[in-house]
Chain A
Amino acid sequence: QVQLQESGPGLVKPSQTLSLTCTVSGGSISSGDYYWSWIRQPPGKGLEWIGYIYYSGSTYYNPSLKSRVTISVDTSKNQFSLKLSSVTAADTAVYYCARADSSIAGFFDPWGQGTLVTVSS
């Protein structure tokens, strides 16, 4: 079955850019049935959708983060990536990648295990 795995630095300095990659295994990222998503969860808090990308490169971002977010896809590597610029302590969170059903149902499954990114000097 499809599995997702996040990778990237666990510590980022304030004002710098957070960069994470999600590697998809067990299935092709080029399937037209799914969007590939990033979701985050600050410590002790709820889930916040960051954005997603279609294999063609079309992107959709959370309006509250849109000015700082870039999501890209590399179909040759079966990976997609997140860049979040000008980070502050408020961006400290567990970052998850997940597959989203591209129908109106739009549910997320499966999820990666998550990676904690701490913003601190």
Chain B
Amino acid sequence: DIQMTQSPSTLSASVGDRVTITCRASQSISSWLAWYQQKPGKAPKLLIYKASSLESGVPSRFSGSGSGTEFTLTISSLQPDDFATYYCQHLRTFGQGTKVEIK
């Protein structure tokens, strides 16, 4: 199976910061990647699919890019509601998660 590796595992940032999370696939997956946001005690929420398509209702400060084996999720200006854990996913495999904490 294809392995998905996220970095960093934890990220400390302040409100207003530009934040970038990376997800690497062990082999090329074209653009078949999704990103989710999960808050404590809640189910994951789809943010991005097909690497760069923004799910309806998701704020435009979230964006995704990449293809092949390297992908990024960017939050252009971090808001208080964005402190959460983020996961990438390809088919049946999830990355290990990146926790975005308050600096």
Contact = CB atoms under 8 A, between A and B. Distances in A.
Interface string A100-119: 01001111111111100000
A47 B44 contact: yes
Contacts of A74: none
A46 B87 contact: yes
Contacts of B34: 105-108
A108 B91 contact: no
Contacts, number: 51
Nearest to B91: A106
B94 A49 contact: yes
Given A47-B97, A101-B49, A107-B34, 20 more contacts: A46-B94, A46-B97, A47-B87, A49-B93, A62-B92, A96-B43, A96-B44, A105-B34, A106-B32, A106-B90, A106-B91, A106-B92, A108-B46, A109-B46, A109-B55, A111-B43, A111-B44, A113-B42, A113-B43, A114-B42
